[in-house]
Structure 1
Amino acid sequence: MKKIYAIKAAMLALLLGGGYALADEDVKVGFALALSGFIAPYDDGPYKAAQLAIDDINTKGGLLGKKLIAVASDTKSDVDVGAIAATDVIGKGARVIMVTCDFDFGAPAAIVAQSQNVFAFSSCAADPKFGVQGIGPNAYTLATATLTQGSILAEFAYKQANLKTAYLLTDTSGEYMKSLCASFERRFIELAGEAGIVGKDNFHGLNDTSIAGQISRLKASPKQPEAVMFCGAGSAGASFIRQIRATGIDLPLLAGESMDGAYWLGAVPDLSNFYVLAYGSAFGNDPDAKINDFTTRFTAKFGEQPATSHALTGYSVIEAWALAVERAGTFDTDAVRAELDKLKDEPFLAGKTSFTPEAHINLDRPMLVFNIVNGKHEPIGRFSSEVIPELKF
């Protein structure tokens, strides 16, 4: 209820302020992101990468001859501040905004943008509700859907790593984690049968500090799994992984791109046997030279490598919107939306990207699988889901 009131208050403030100002010579790109707080590692890289993409466009003469200008507002990793941040940047004239890399934290800002007929792109909200069905026709995400991520991990585990049974540990504090584990379970059962899932348990990443009970139940499972599918995120996820390893459980762990990056690895020294999905490598060792070149340019501009590969999706937010603007020949929202909804297998930095009027998220895109060995990310290769998931709500 508190979230709903915050969104309504922000929308009222925007309406009383007259909405966004019409662009003159410059076109403003807004960022309503977590630039501080615990979500910041997921938004910092995309924000900086988007700035790099804006620089690239401006260096070539701008977009439709107009210079792009970034305007930002910090949500401080507070879900209730998202709507306020969106109101701020739209009020400053933003014609498109980027919101937080998560459905739960990005949706409030996206709802405000939708109400003003402004585009809201998430760099990497992977829950399928971020789009037409969950927010509205102006909401897009450059993520690969959790439906696909879970399927890729299930197929990799069963066919590439020869892991025939799995145990699920799901963080229920976010839609991404719940959707990821549900998708993995569905596909793994298709491959291994019902007996392939030997157990499952839940924890709450925002409230729990210990998963001792879950670990005890895992160790007491009548049939021990060959792998654990861990659907957690960030620093909290790192704490739980440390607890798992500290009890002597050395089973292969599988994780989605919510555990991408090395910023959390200090909490689990010399971690090994950990398979994690990513959009690409932030470490300069991607199989795709184009991504390594991006990492080099990013590092030169900002003085450090991206915290995660979500930077690739941040760059591609600008790529997607700019390409649609060019094809439409205008910044008009309705005309640009029509072009966005026709994008098909576009070779963006984040990977091939397609949108339709019904699906504003990617369902058919290869992703990179790493094996973390002694604390180092070793890329195995890019894998696609053999079965393209159906978008259901």
Structure 2
Amino acid sequence: MSKLPGLVHAVAIAACMGTAVPARADIVIGAALNLTGIQAPMDEPGFRGAQVAVKEINDAGGLLGQQVKLVNMDGKSDPVTVGNVAVQLVDEGAQLIMAPCDFDFGSPAGREAQAAGLVGISTCASDPLYSSWSLGDKQFTLSMWNTTMGAAAADFALEKGWKNAYVVTDQFIAYTKSLPKYFKAQFEAGGGKILLEDSYNNGDNDFSAQLARLQALPEKPDVIFLSSYGTDIGVIIRALREVGYDAPVLGGDAYDDPALHQALGEKFGNDVYFVTHTWAGPGASPEMQKFLGLYKDMYQKDPDTSFVATGYDTVMLLAEAVKAAGSTDGEAVAKALEDGQFKLLTGELDYTPAAEGHMPNKAAAIIQLTGGKTSFVGWRRPASVPAP
């Protein structure tokens, strides 16, 4: 995990140790992002991006005439800790809440924000469980839902002429379990065929039983849809390649981890595609280029994952909604989010009303891995998505 330089690093460490939320003279965003544990590859980059957004806002004069303070307390990739941290942030005066990625880890923070009447936004929870239906009318996620992520992957596969698929579902969390469900629904609706649906348990580090079932099929798949998490993604891809399965591997935003790309390397990091939040490489938008400059000024390096943009966008989205509402009042900010249309680094975004789940309407970025290096395939916005 990358270290945060200078003062930003000191603030992050102090916050993780439980530093009190600043006085109410500032607009305070309380974050329960996971800087350690299995969620860190998603949340820690998001925290860095959020710091860039806060500095940009404050350098431009602040928000509603006040400075913005971001206070993060490490959720430690533990749902109970995330919930406890959120309670502490609320008790100490946070007015807005940033929740971690994914329903299992982020929902405890969302529930505490809702109980306190505060707007909360997860930086990248994508399971449709992360919705106003289950968490309340003031809770949102910046990410596309898995309905869009899975549909975009399926449409891309069919566009490439891949007609049959082998699908692996990691039984780890809601994200890994629902993503292949929506891929399958969209793939079959478009005329694709699922040759075999298989299961895997995160942490097993043994894919031999699944390989045996795959090898027993009368035909090889055109594409392998692998919904897994963390280092297990690399373990499974290596296992597939080592026994001669060279079909393209397709997955979701959990693949957007530079440690995975490095682990696969030149030998195994080929014909891998994933759906994620944005593209920050050559040909990126002018808005992204501006962000990259600000990011490099702060961290003296370029970002290596799109999750930095999810943190930046979450802060900017909260700021736009607060400005439109004229206050940090939960009901007013939630209404501003429902009514607004937002142009972000992760694409254009608008939300459905609370009665419809606060579903995020947005496009998906598709990235290709070749020789362990990423390249941009393009944006995709499915014409229709499976029902959540």
Q: TM-score, normalised by structure 2?
A: 0.89
Whether 2:130 is the aligned partner of 1:130: answer yes
Do the aligned residues in 2 keep the contact of 1:143 with 1:362 (CA within 8 Å)?
no
CA distance in 2, matches of 1:292, 1:171: 36
Distance change (3 Å), C-alpha of 1:330 and 1:363: closer
1:91 match: 91
* Match in the other structure for 2:157: 157
2:87 is paired with a residue of what secondary structure? helix
Q: Which amino acid is the alignment partner of residue 158 of structure 2?
A: Y
- SS of aligned partner of 1:101: coil
Give the conservation status (yes or no) of the 8 Å contact 1:153–1:277: yes
Name 2:330's counterpart in structure 1.
333
Q: How does 1:109-258 map to 2 (within 5 A)?
A: 109-159=109-159, 161-192=160-191, 196-205=193-202, 207-258=203-254
- Tell me the residue number matched to 1:315: 312
Find the residue that maps to 1:372 and give its secondary structure: strand
Q: Which runs of 5+ in 1 are unaligned?
A: 1-19
The residue number in structure 1 matching 2:277 is 279
In the alignment, which of 362, 365, 371 is matched to residue 362 of structure 2?
365
Contact 1:155 1:187 in 2 (8 A): yes
Q: What code does the residue aligned with 2:324 have?
A: R
The answer to whether 1:350 aligns with 2:346 is yes
Secondary structure, counterpart of 2:362 in structure 1: coil
Distance 1:234 1:286, change over 3 A: farther
C-alpha distance 182-93 of structure 1, shift in aligned 2 (>3 A): same
Q: Which amino acid aligns with 1:59?
A: D
Tell me what 1:268 maps to: 264
Percentage identity across paired residues of the two chains: 31
SS of the residue aligned with 2:377?
A: strand
* Structure 1 stretches of at least 4 aligned residues deviating more than 4 Å after TM superposition: 20-23, 359-363
Partner of 1:9: none
Deviation at 1:173, TM superposition (A): 0.9
Q: CA deviation at 1:361?
A: 4.9
Deviation at 1:305, TM superposition (A): 3.3
Pairwise CA RMSD of aligned residues?
1.9
- When residues 98 and 39 of structure 1 are mapped into structure 2, their CA distance, relative to the original with a 3 A threshold, is same
- Residue in 2 aligned with 1:3? none
Q: Distance in 1 between matches of 2:37 and 2:59?
A: 32
- Aligned 8 A contact 2:29 2:68 in 1: yes
| Partner SS state of residue 258, structure 2 | coil
Distance (whole Å) between structure 2 residues aligned to residue 203 and residue 122 of structure 1: 27
SS of structure 2 residue aligned to 1:117:
coil
Decide whether aligned partners of structure 1 residues 24 and 105 sit closer, same or farther in structure 2, where only a CA change above 3 A counts. Answer: closer
Q: What corresponds to 1:14 in structure 2?
A: none
**Partner letter of residue 135 of structure 1?**
L
Question: Match of 2:8?
Answer: none
Could you tell me how far 1:362 is from its partner in structure 2? 4.7
Once the 2 structures are TM-superposed, how far is the Cα of residue 234 of structure 1 from its aligned partner?
Answer: 2.2
Instruction: State the AA in 2 paired with 1:134.
Output: S
SS at match of 1:218: helix
Distance in structure 2 (CA, Å) of the matches to 1:292 and 1:220: 49
1:306-357 per-residue CA deviation (whole Å, 9 max, x = no partner) reads 342022121111122111111111221111111111123x211211111132
Count, aligned residues: 366
One-letter amino acid of the structure 2 residue matched with residue 276 of structure 1? F
Contact residue 145 and residue 361 of structure 1 kept, 8 A? no
Structure 2: where are the runs of 5+ without partners? 1-19
Report SS of the residue matched to 1:233. coil
The answer (yes or no) to whether the contact 2:119–2:333 under 8 Å persists in 1 is no
- SS of the residue corresponding to residue 198 of structure 1 reads strand
- Residue 181 to residue 72, structure 1, CA distance change in 2 (3 Å): same
Match of 1:8 in 2: none
Q: CA deviation at 1:136?
A: 1.0
Letter in 2 for 1:180: L
User: Contact 1:370–1:378 (CA<8 Å) still a contact in 2?
Assistant: yes
Shift of 1:360: 5.4
Which residue is 2:9 aligned to?
none
Checking the alignment, whether the CA contact within 8 Å between 1:148 and 1:363 is kept in structure 2 is no
Matched with 1:5 is: none
Q: What residue in structure 2 maps to residue 376 of structure 1?
A: 373
Higher mean C-alpha displacement, 310-319 vs 298-307: 298-307
Moved more, 44-53 or 287-296: 287-296
* Letter of the 1:52 counterpart: V
Deviation at 1:127, TM superposition (A): 0.5
